[in-house]
Structure 1
Amino acid sequence: MAVIIELTVDATDFDLGQVTAFGDNVVIELERVVPTGGEVMPFFWVSGIDFDEFERTVRARELVQDLTPIANVNDRVLYHVSWGTSVSSLTRILIESEATILEATGTTPWMFRLRFSDHTYVRDFYTQCQESDIDIHVNRVYTLTEEDTNVYQFNITSHQHEALVTAVSAGYFKVPRGTTLREVADQLEISPQAASERVRRGADKVLRSVLLSGSGLPFSD
């Protein structure tokens, strides 16, 4: 039975996290594709930062062989990164445990949603992380069957969840608004641009899950 783990890990424990560590304002999200050439974490989206500065800094990293912008969509840029010969411990463990990365996002820490073939691979993954002194924080473990029994699967990140809870609690979505986006950003101690990104993307995932999944509750009069 396939097992899914949701966890957080420090950016210093894997290649992509190390080279894209720019603080809380930048939002990095791994593109959910399976490369055919055996590459590891080659595509990722970036938002909330000066892209020219980001590209100069990442290209200067020792781990990076090349960085290429692929697309610019709604103030987000999709990049392809070619890695050098070095492979961080976490990346190596993910490969050896045959983990499928369903979702990965963050700066510090990063949130991962991983799928393993069964609990044996999960135990091996956890053991190798401990042996390599990688401090992972497991937030949730469940099977695909357990996932399918839930009414809603929002799949939002911890940062998006925090931003949405803050915005809703402060009345950001009320008419008239009970707060401004800048005030939400101040509570989260991030930039208004980063707050906007997290609120918009989190709200989009929640609304799509509720309205487009076919499993939403019926409307009331």
Structure 2
Amino acid sequence: MVVEASFMVEDSEFPLSAVFEHLSSVTIELDRVVPTTSAVIPYFWIYTDDTTKLNTDLGDEIGIREVTIIDQVKEAMFVRVNWNLDHESVLTAILNTDVTLLSGKGRGGQWVFTVRAQEQAEISSFRTYCRNHELSVELTQFNSVSPLEDGQEYNLTADQQIALELAYNRGYFESPRRATQEDLGDDLDITRQAVSSLLKRGIGQLIASTLATTEADQPPRPN
């Protein structure tokens, strides 16, 4: 099941954040053009009221080897970045795990990145990598982008299906349990109470759709 997740990242966890130090109003956005070389996420648009006030001498910033201006107009600058991948950042977390970067935007000193993965476990691996390298990221959105054919058959919501599948894969339903509701909550970045509610409603819907029958459908009782 393909999933997408968005993360809010502290400005200090991603190179280029030094741009925010020079301007009070600036937006930095990943250009979605896929390069034909081995360069890693090289192109960005920098939007500001006046690009003449922008300090582009960022080659000495941690995590950056060189910034080259490709094009410049009054309120936008198109730049190419040569990263220093020896420095751990959200960028290296993306490169070293099985997630694909879909978008990235920085504004007001904060970054939001959206990634796609083939399954929930890959998102969990990305978060684990960040924790192990002391990178501060906060999950802000999580959703499935796969057709929920099975879930729709049982009238499950996307959130219920994600929670149930995660619980099954993590061994929550085994005896003894290999995962707790707190563990599932950590993976989904929601509270234990929210996990409990999703599981109860999801299980209830599965029972209603598979085992429960209306009175008219019930077989006659033996005398």
Q: Which protein, 1 or 2, shows the higher relative CO under an 8 Å CA cutoff with sep ≥ 6?
A: 1
In the alignment, is the contact (CA less than 8 A) between 2:57 and 2:67 conserved in 1? no
Q: 1:51 to 1:74 in 2, by over 3 A?
A: closer
Distance 1:93 1:83 in 2: 14
Matched with 1:70 is 70
Q: C-alpha deviations, 1:16-74, integer Å up to 9, x for none?
A: 33x43335411111111222323222110011154344344424435433222223367
Gapped runs of 5+ residues in structure 2?
149-223
Matched with 2:199 is none
TM-score normalised by length of structure 2: 0.57
RMSD: 2.6
Aligned length: 147
Greater CA radius of gyration, 1 or 2? 2
The code of the aligned residue for 1:21 comes to: F
The code of the aligned residue for 1:61 comes to: E
Distance 2:101 2:63 in 1: 21
The code of the aligned residue for 1:92 comes to: T
Matched with 2:102 is 102
The code of the aligned residue for 1:40 comes to: V
Looking at secondary structure, tell me which structure has more helix per residue.
Answer: 1
Distance 1:146 1:24 in 2: 42
Matched with 1:35 is 35
User: 3-state DSSP class of the match of 1:58?
Assistant: coil
Distance 1:51 1:26 in 2: 10
Q: 1:76 to 1:146 in 2, by over 3 A?
A: farther
Residue pairs, 1:1-221, within 5 angstroms: 1-17=1-17, 19-22=18-21, 24-48=24-48, 50-61=50-61, 63-72=63-72, 75-84=75-84, 86-107=86-107, 108-145=109-146
Identity %: 23
Q: 1:24 to 1:40 in 2, by over 3 A?
A: farther
